[in-house]
Structure 1
Amino acid sequence: MKNLPKEIKCVIFDMDGVIIDSEEIHKKAYYETFASLGVHVSDKLYKSFTGASTINAFQKLVAHFNLDKNPETLVLDKRKRYVNFFENDPNLHLVENVEEIIKYFYQKGLTLILASSSAMVNINRVFNRFNLNNYFAAKISGADLKESKPNPEIFNKAAKLANVPKENCMVIEDSDNGIKAANDANIFVFGYANKLSEGQTLKNADAVIHNFLELKKVI
């Protein structure tokens, strides 16, 4: 476990399960797509997708079931289903207190970067709906990467975009894949214990929080 950096200059946020409670509608969209393919996806297999990009998840699925399907086509199918839920689910909301902590960091002059495996179209959909664009210096999507989480590429790229040394950065993640990516990028990572992020242990996080307001005490 690393110690919290003495001076934080950059905060790198994951999106799904950290900024927005969208895990449930992602799950509905995935399982609708699985049903359309006639495959039964176990909880264990589904949980292994958490934090990975959608293309990575469907590549795994096609290989696992030996499907004669194009993963890119399945991504588009799942995305349509997700958009339908996103636009028609009035209960979709930001994670509790995350907007307050985003504004707190922004007012302290910290550089905020979004580093999400989601497609940029989904990121923009969230950021536009909840008016978050002004607070973030940059947004990275799964499409900007050669490798998906747990590969550290996304966080290496985030630190570079922020133009901040890694020792002055921190990551907030809710998935074990994302935490491993931050570990391998050698950036301090807070695990956020979101009750909706199923099957995530957060065991390799440098610290675990249950409420974003806890961060005000340390930063």
Structure 2
Amino acid sequence: MPLKAVLFDMDGVIVDTEPLHRKAYFKTFNDLGIDVSEDLYTSFTGASTKRVCDTLIETFNLKQTFEEIAETKRNYFKEYFYHDGDFDLITGVKDLILHYYDNGIKLILASSATMTTINMVFEKFELEPYFMGKISGADLKESKPHPEVFLLAAGMAGEPVENCMVIEDSTNGILAAHRAEIFCAAYRSAHSKNQDYTLADTVVSDYSDLEIDKISQYFD
């Protein structure tokens, strides 16, 4: 079955927003006058903003509401998003997106990020013309490693799962693709830490390795 659609995760695959979130959170901690240890911050990985704020309120006995803390953090994040000189697309991903697009491959974004963040990324880096659809896991009942987001993305592309490929970088995302029975290419970046690639069908560190002629043997 030939490759017809590629389902992209966003964070860690198209952009790496983690350093921006980190800067925004630590600026917020500073404003709140609290000292958050590395261990506590690490425990927030993958957690929703609400869960992080609720934990901070409980741990440090804060008077602020979840909404107030989240608003402060969101404003710092936006500031870094638009003005941090180090923030850019992950090396090689724009070329890969153009390569698929030029070869008639349907592209769907299937990310756990909020649609607000997805739209900010698409606008900043002018990705909108190349994707036929975007799905935010934040709008779904189930989140990765549940396969729902990728099954919906395949449906949005109008292709059976065997004609699709997922590009992921996280343990949960790879597991979600595996459960959806969709071929999964794992991207191992310099930022990838403690992720499990065991269930990925192929692992690359350079996006040029995912060009159609180099992966065609998987889709004969």
Query: TM (normalized to structure 1)?
Result: 0.82
Change (3 A) 1:86 1:156: same
**Alignment match, 2:79:** 84
More deviation in 22-31 or 112-121? Answer: 22-31
The alignment status of 1:175 with 2:167, answered yes or no, reads: no
Distance 2:145 2:97 in 1: 24
C-alpha displacement at 1:208, in angstroms? Answer: 0.5
Instruction: Give the partner amino acid of 1:113.
Output: I
Work out which of the two has the higher radius of gyration on C-alpha atoms and give 1 or 2. 2
**How many corresponding residue pairs?**
210
Taking only the aligned residue pairs, the percentage that are identical comes to: 42
The alignment status of 1:218 with 2:210, answered yes or no, reads: no
Query: Structure 1: which 5+ residue stretches go unaligned?
Result: 1-5
Checking the alignment, whether the CA contact within 8 Å between 1:23 and 1:196 is kept in structure 2 is: no
C-alpha displacement at 1:131, in angstroms? Answer: 1.0
Change (3 A) 1:151 1:74: farther
More deviation in 205-214 or 22-31? Answer: 22-31
Query: Structure 2: which 5+ residue stretches go unaligned?
Result: none
Checking the alignment, whether the CA contact within 8 Å between 1:151 and 1:184 is kept in structure 2 is: yes
**Alignment match, 1:143:** 138
The alignment status of 1:28 with 2:27, answered yes or no, reads: no
Checking the alignment, whether the CA contact within 8 Å between 2:28 and 2:73 is kept in structure 1 is: yes
The alignment status of 1:59 with 2:55, answered yes or no, reads: no
More deviation in 135-144 or 37-46? Answer: 37-46
Change (3 A) 1:88 1:185: same
- Say which of 150, 153, 157 aligns to 1:155: 150
**Alignment match, 1:198:** 193
Change (3 A) 1:8 1:70: farther
Instruction: Give the partner amino acid of 1:21.
Output: D
3-state DSSP class of the match of 1:218?
Answer: helix
Distance 1:207 1:44 in 2: 33
Distance 1:72 1:116 in 2: 24
Change (3 A) 1:41 1:111: farther
Distance 2:92 2:150 in 1: 24
C-alpha displacement at 1:178, in angstroms? Answer: 1.2
The alignment status of 1:95 with 2:90, answered yes or no, reads: yes
Distance 2:11 2:134 in 1: 13
Query: TM (normalized to structure 2)?
Result: 0.82
**Alignment match, 1:17:** 12
Instruction: Give the partner amino acid of 2:74.
Output: R
Distance 2:40 2:197 in 1: 16
Change (3 A) 1:125 1:12: same
**Alignment match, 1:40:** 36
C-alpha RMSD over aligned residues: 2.6
Distance 1:218 1:107 in 2: 16
